[in-house]
Amino acid sequence: MCLNGWGGTLHEGLLPYLQTAAPDILCLQEVVHSPASDKDWLTYRDGNHILPQRANFFRDVSRALPDHIAVFCPAAQGVLWDDDQSIPSQWGLATFVHKSIPIIGQAQGFVHKGYSPDGYGDHPRSRNAHGVRVYNYKSNRTISVTHMHGLRDLRGKMDTPQRAKQAQRLLDLSQHLTEPDDVRVICGDFNVEPQSETLLILQAAGLTELVISRGFTSTRNSHYKKPGKFADYMLINDADAVKTFDVVYDPEVSDHCPLVLCL
């Protein structure tokens, strides 16, 4: 499963959904981790932009999936607010792998900028990626899964040199992790349109994109009010290995839809 968790905004529905779905591997973007606080909610402030944040979203999902190995990958550390008290808080992505599945390789790195230790930074902000290589005993195959949260450009989802470079870095990280006979999956909230250069770069490397090629018309739901209904994608190097693939519109557990692949 691949999902932008929207910072845990809909955690009351998301956590039971994850417990029921119990994906073998969960690739989760937009994850908040505030180890200096045990609060459930803190506040993000950026000028006039003020939002409640699920302060320990990583902790919440880890508790909901106690049989999974959890890895948090921070892209930046800034501050959230508890009234007038500033709380250091990290923001990034996380990967959860069921403990029955051996992790035999990992790769982590930045696809745009680098780690920002003293604030979330100027837009477009730092973005990272994480990959795991696992052995699947059900199919007796090795699988590599790499995900990223693509950079957000305030001007929109158009192609830019930064996004092209980001796509190549994502591909390089996945290639570093993957062996020749592996089933290879790349996924995430890419923040681009279906005709983007990002997808062309990944497809040119022999990957098949599943959202568009299987006729899905959106990866967003009713919580997303802006135009442009695509953001999330999943690609695979062996389409014949796909048993099922779905974009989950119900229940709504984020302003993004979960992408669920079964091999």
Q: Please report, in tens digits, the pLDDT of each residue of the chain (263 residues total).
A: 999 999 999 999 999 999 999 999 999 999 999 999 999 999 999 888 898 999 999 999 999 999 999 999 999 999 999 999 999 999 999 999 999 999 999 999 999 999 999 999 888 999 999 999 999 998 899 999 999 999 999 899 999 999 999 999 999 999 999 999 999 999 999 999 999 999 999 999 999 999 999 999 999 999 998 888 999 999 999 999 999 999 999 999 999 999 999 99
Reference 169, options 86, 108, 97; nearest CA is 108
Q: What integer pLDDT is reported at residue 138 of this predicted model?
A: 87
Whether the CB-CB separation of 60 and 8 falls below 8 Å is answered with: yes
- Residue 204 in tokens: 């040119």
Q: Report the candidate in 114, 139, 137, 161 with the shortest Cα–Cα distance to residue 242.
A: 139
Provide CB contacts within 8 A for 263, sequence distance 6+: 136, 139, 141, 143, 183, 241, 242, 243
Q: What gap in Å lies between CA 200 and CA 6, rounded to an integer? A: 27
- Prior bond to 35 cis, omega within 30? no
pLDDT at 228 (0 to 100): 83
Do 30 and 58 touch, CB atoms closer than 8 A?
Answer: no
pLDDT for the residue numbered 48: 85
> Residues 73, 191, 2, 194: is their CA dihedral positive or negative?
negative
Residue with tokens 């693509």: 150
Q: Is the four-CA dihedral 44, 48, 49, 51 of positive or negative sign?
A: positive
Six token digits for residue 123: 């837009």
Q: What is the pLDDT of residue 35?
A: 95
Q: At 248, which amino acid appears? A: V
Question: 112-142 b/e with 16+ CB inside 10 Å = b?
Answer: bbeebeeebbeebbbbbbbbbbbeeeeeeeb
Secondary structure letter of residue 228 according to DSSP: -
pLDDT at position 46: 86
Say how far residue 66 (Cα) sits from the centre of its chain: 20
Q: What stretch of H or E contains 213?
A: helix 210-213
**Domain at 2-262: CATH architecture:** 4-Layer Sandwich (3.60)
The pLDDT assigned to 241 comes to: 96
Paired sense of beta strands 259-262 and 85-98, if any:
unpaired
Is residue 211 within 8 A of residue 171, CB to CB? The reply is: no
C-alpha dihedral sign at 258, 11, 148, 146: negative
State the number of CA atoms in the 13 A half-sphere of 70 facing the CB.
16
Tokens of 221: 């739901």
